[in-house]
Amino acid sequence: MADILDQAVAALRRMPAADRESMAQAILPVTQGSPTLDIEPDHLPFVLEGLAQLDRGEFTEGDPEDLISAAFRRHLR
């Protein structure tokens, strides 16, 4: 497990500062036992489908760091 954590921390450290800040804002509430998941009702079917894809082992191809950075830039403006 530590290996995955080390990889995640290393990936975060390579991200641009603004993206690291966004990730920290998303991660800290979870680590403190109070995750905030404010999902718009219209978005819920898409979130559930994404989770189902993860359960089936279906992943997006591409550099994970680029995909995460793009997602946070798009959704945390």
pLDDT tens-digit readout, 27-63: 887 788 866 667 888 888 888 888 888 788 776 677 7
* pTM strictly above 0.75: no
The most confident of the ranges 5-9, 60-64, 69-73 is: 5-9
Q: DSSP assignment, residue 42?
A: T
Inter-residue contact 65 to 11 (CB < 8 Å):
yes
Helices of type H across the chain: 2-14, 17-31, 44-55, 64-75
pLDDT at 56: 81
Burial of 22 (0-12, 13-18, 19+ CB in 10 A): buried
Region 19-32: what's the mean pLDDT? 83
Amino acid at 76: L
